[in-house]
């Protein structure tokens, strides 16, 4: 917050919105929200959950829980898409260019999302919480993508 008043700065403002988006998540393990922003304008949002038209884990249970798969491992054994993936897909679906955008996400991206972020032309990531994926942090750094944790 800026000193002397309760008005949030831009990063806080957009992260508050990403946190609200996360409330739509249908994941039983971790609720994540993402927001793509360019020139202080929201381009797309996303939260983690099953693809459109498929039953959500809230309805049928979590395969990863059933198989006791630790967080950050075996991403392919999940019905859901990550919030970052859904935000990028929503932008593509609606013809919204995201090159040069900033991704606001309630969690640090995993390595799969990091690779998508790089190829989508996203230039910076702002997140609230870390994520135990050192390779993701390394490749974002190598690609010159600025990462900031609030």
| Residues of each annotated binding site | 82, 110, 113
The CA-atom distances, in angstroms, between 37 and each of 13, 72, 75, 103, 122 are 11, 26, 26, 6, 10
Q: Which of 59, 84, 138, 142 is catalytic?
A: 84
Helix (H) or strand (E) holding 42: strand 41-47
Active site residue 84: yes
Helix (H/G/I), strand (E/B), else coil: 87 = helix
Alpha-carbon torsion 86, 60, 55, 78, what sign? positive
Sequence ranges of the binding site for Zn(2+): 82, 110, 113
Catalytically active residues are 84
């Amino acid at each position: 917050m800026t000193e002397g008043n309760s008005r949030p700065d831009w990063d806080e403002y957009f992260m508050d919105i990403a946190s609200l988006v996360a409330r739509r998540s249908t994941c039983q393990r971790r609720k994540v929200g993402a927001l793509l922003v360019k020139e202080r304008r929201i381009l797309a949002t996303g939260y983690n959950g099953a693809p459109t038209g498929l039953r959500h884990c809230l309805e049928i249970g979590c395969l990863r829980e059933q198989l006791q798969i630790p967080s950050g491992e075996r991403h392919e054994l999940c019905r859901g898409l990550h919030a970052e993936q859904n935000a990028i897909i929503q932008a593509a679906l609606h013809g919204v260019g995201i090159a040069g955008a900033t991704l606001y996400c309630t969690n640090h991206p995993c390595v799969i999302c990091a690779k998508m972020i790089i190829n989508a032309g996203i230039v910076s990531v702002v997140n609230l919480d870390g994520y135990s994926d050192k390779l993701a942090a390394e490749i974002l750094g190598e690609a010159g993508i600025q990462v900031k944790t609030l």
